[in-house]
Amino acid sequence: ASITRFPLIRVRGVPLMSYIANNFDSVWDFRPDPSDILIATYPKAGTTWTQEIVDLLRHNGDAEACKQAPTPVRSPFLEISSPPPIPSGLDLLNKTDPPRIIKTHLPFQMVPRGFWENKCKTIYVARNPKDNLVSYYYFDQMNMTQPEPGPWEGYIHKFMRGELSWGSWYDHVKGYWLEREKNNILYLFYEDMKENPRREVERIMRYLDLDLSDEVLSRIVELTSFKNMKENPMTNYSCVPAPVFDLSVSAFMRKGEVGDWTNHFTPEQTKMFDEDCEKQMRDVNIPFRSLI
Ligand code: A3P
């Protein structure tokens, strides 16, 4: 089958792949149910990890039950938009009964208003920018629907200028941060999840008003380890219809580490990036432990 690397079209100033940009009105009109749970991230911040944790929490740690419910289509595809040839995210959502675990990479101001009006539980995950960028660079190589990443040095500049698909990382993390209290958004950090996954799983559990046993929590932490998720066909994205992902270029579960950026940035690139990052983040104090 042929596959398209979708060009980027700006909607309200944010570059989005054409399949979503051209359908943005129907995305904007989507009405969630108050019981729906939203997982929002800039791409590559730990979306899939968080989806798996939430799915297991809601199924009391029963991985088999997760495979059956809520539909034959697993929660990774319950996105307000999904690239063809994956069926339209909106179509899948409309065929699935609430409560649904919905993921989005849309920046806060472009998320359908119904999520906030209905007070849907929303989990945001942020990851330090240089690791996020490195992960996105590999993803753009292996995801044949994303725009071509081009050479590494130029990619860094595109990230800094907010020219990648879904827009500026800086605006994204700030947008949700500034809205977190008003909209009761649980704001998590990838680095915290790596440091103490059990603590963060419990945090998500409490946020979702669930109360699971120690034994079940331990099982969920184990099932959502990088090693287990890399082997699990439901989470390593080997289930994504070919040829969307070329897993021979890069695995979806690639490395799963903090600090992989040190293997990619030269000292000059680090200096340039960090100086720019400090400027772009000056107006908000988000407690990243390793912003630069
Ligand atoms: P790397 O490319 O750095 O390995 P997303 O799901 O938002 O697309 O994010 C994917 C990134 O999260 C990848 O980062 C992937 O390896 C990492 N990841 C996924 N599951 C993980 C887990 N259980 N533990 C640690 N990292 C995980």
Cβ 44 under 6 angstroms from ligand 1: yes
> What string of DSSP letters covers 202-213?
HHHHHHTT----
Q: Whose CA is nearest to atom 26 of ligand 1?
A: 256
Which residues are part of the catalytic machinery?
105
What the block records as the tokens of 149 is: 């990443």
Question: What are the residues whose beta carbons fall under 8 Å from the beta carbon of 49, sequence distance 6 or more?
Answer: 125, 190, 193, 224, 229
| Amino acid (1-letter code) at residue 128 | N
CB atoms within 10 A of CB 145: 20
C-beta separation of 203 from 188 below 8 A: yes
- CA 172 – CA 105 distance, rounded (Å): 9
Looking at residue 168, what is its pLDDT? 98
Looking at residue 219, what is its pLDDT? 98
Percent of the chain with pLDDT over 70: 91
pLDDT digits (tens, 9 = 90+) for 214-239: 999 999 999 999 999 999 888 888 87
**Candidate ranges 17-31, 79-93, 253-267; pick with highest mean pLDDT:** 253-267
Q: Whose CA is nearest to atom 24 of ligand 1?
A: 226
Atom in ligand 1 nearest the alpha carbon of residue 253: 16
Mean pLDDT of the chain: 91
Ligand 1 centroid to Cα of residue 47, in Å, is 8
- CA 284 – CA 206 distance, rounded (Å): 27
* Cα-only R_g, the chain: 18
Residue of 39, 42, 44, 237 best suited for mutating to test ligand 1, as the one with most atoms within 8 Å of CB = 44
C-beta separation of 219 from 156 below 8 A: no
Ligand 1 centroid to Cα of residue 183, in Å, is 26
Question: What are the residues whose beta carbons fall under 8 Å from the beta carbon of 191, sequence distance 6 or more?
Answer: 127, 128, 258, 288, 289, 290
C-beta separation of 35 from 24 below 8 A: no
Cβ 105 under 6 angstroms from ligand 1: no
Looking at residue 271, what is its pLDDT? 97
Ligand 1 centroid to Cα of residue 49, in Å, is 7
Query: Would you say residue 1 has pLDDT above 70?
Result: no
Question: Quick one: how many helices (H) and strands (E) in the chain?
Answer: 14, 6
Atom in ligand 1 nearest the alpha carbon of residue 255: 4
Ligand 1 centroid to Cα of residue 117, in Å, is 31
* Dihedral, 282, 287, 291, 292 alpha carbons, nearest 10: 70
pLDDT digits (tens, 9 = 90+) for 278-287: 999 999 999 9
Confidence class for position 72, pLDDT limits 50, 70, 90: very low
Q: Whose CA is nearest to atom 9 of ligand 1?
A: 44
CA angle 39, 286, 136 (to 5 degrees): 55
Q: Whose CA is nearest to atom 2 of ligand 1?
A: 135
Query: Would you say residue 69 has pLDDT above 70?
Result: no
**Which of 16, 13, 39 lies closest to 27, judged by CA?**
16
The length of the chain is 292
> Parallel, antiparallel, or unpaired: how do β-strands 14-17 and 101-104 relate?
unpaired
Cβ 42 under 6 angstroms from ligand 1: no
Looking at residue 86, what is its pLDDT? 66
Matching residue, tokens 């595809």? 77
| Amino acid (1-letter code) at residue 249 | V
What the block records as the tokens of 163 is: 């020219």
Query: Would you say residue 2 has pLDDT above 90?
Result: no
Q: Whose CA is nearest to atom 8 of ligand 1?
A: 44
